[in-house]
Amino acid sequence: MEFLMSLSGPLLYLIIFVAKTIEVSISTIRLVYNSKGERFKGAILGFFEIMIWILVVSSVLNNITEDPLKIIAYAGGFSLGNLLGVYIESLIAIGISSIQVVVNAEVGETLAENLREHDFGVTIIEGEGKDHSKKNLLFVQLKRKKIPAAVKIIKQTAPNAYISVNEVKSTIGGFIKK
């Protein structure tokens, strides 16, 4: 702690910037873990987040009137931390999503089989389009990490498909491959 307080100038600004970026990134990921029911992981991240926060804030507030550039480093780290945290979370892709697909009835069964061959559970419902044409509605629930693979299969099989992706809060039963 004394080491951090003894620093000044560009090195201090860099440390503040990097530490704040890391802290806010951790905070973003912690919030997602908590909202997805992974409270233990959220608590562990919260421990490290608050340790970094205390160190950074104490160094920023120390002689802030004589060195206002610390505020710029802090604000910059906060902004980058938000961007980085969201990016990291998208790579981790915590949780479950639901994909709804509307296709012409002629393509529905083929698409469902293609998805099933890749271990996706699919439910099909017959429907009717605005022009009274026969449609198939396909429902796929999957881990968020698998969304790109499923969308790729859908686009390859039915390029004109209507695809809707939604976040799922919780599920009971069903088929989701681990």
* pLDDT tens track for 163-175: 999 988 777 777 6
Residue 2 pLDDT level (bands cut at 50, 70, 90): low
* pLDDT tens track for 75-129: 999 999 999 999 998 888 888 899 999 999 999 999 999 999 999 989 999 999 8
Q: Can you tell me which residue has the tokens 């969308």? A: 151
pLDDT at 72: 95
pLDDT at 114: 95
Which of 144-156 are b and which e, b meaning 16 or more Cβ less than 10 Å from the residue's Cβ?
Answer: bebbeebeebbee
- Please tell me the class of the 96-168 domain: alpha beta
What is the side-by-side order of every strand in the sheet holding 122-128?
122-128, 134-143, 96-104, 162-168
